[in-house]
Structure 1
């Protein structure tokens, strides 16, 4: 066990480490947009609040706000993007869950499948080197020999 001597007094290592832990204590903070509660250090909370005008924003909402800024057709401020995201969060939390989530999921998947099958760009998704195309410059690959014969011979 080591000890540090300062001005002829002995400080135990446990006291020094507990002092360090006090400064690194985490706090619970609630997101201004979605209401998610996270445990963060006070220094991190302060940095986030500086970035968002005194409001604490969780990491997920922060990414959504950045995406809102990028996807906007015009130049918008972070405050406008945060307002847009908050409106979306309010709409989402106002929704009630469906009475039967399984049926709701199946219906949603059916709609996605129908849209993908009815899409006019469906033909464009085929592989460019598809062997069904007549004017394709690339020929399909053929097997030269079986790999099983080399495995069974060893």
Structure 2
């Protein structure tokens, strides 16, 4: 509204005669009718779209890693059917698929390989993570030494392996540390009055 109480003419759309139109007032009766029509439509749609019954869920425990999931009995049955009667979680099923690619598509062997890795991890890795990491490093070294043994044994090839790098064996650092400590002690002894 303008300061003198009149409405601004530019704020309303103009008709062909260029006469300002006043905004339509909504009556309370019309508003109540619109609300009741809307509620009727919403109630009608709710009746028409009945939801299917939800089947009960069960806890299923993965036979590889031991993780539990809530699943329907139908889903549990499909997974057991797919993996030789064993129920495995989604993460383990992906790992089995990857193992199948490595093993040439044999699902039974892939499942056994993944289960043995999970059993080993659950036995050692969860209780003693440092030992598990050391064991994994030992396996890496064992595999790399097998790969070196598979190559020819000519001296020329051995030099190439040394140049490529690898884990070199070194002596212990404890004698160097004790030597430094002894030097520090002798300096402090000299400085004492």
TM-score by length of 1: 0.48
Q: Give the strand-richer structure, 1 or 2.
A: 1
Q: Relative contact order (alpha carbons < 8 A, sep ≥ 6): 1 or 2 greater? A: 1
Q: Give the helix-richer structure, 1 or 2.
A: 2
Q: Whose radius of gyration is greater, 1 or 2?
A: 2
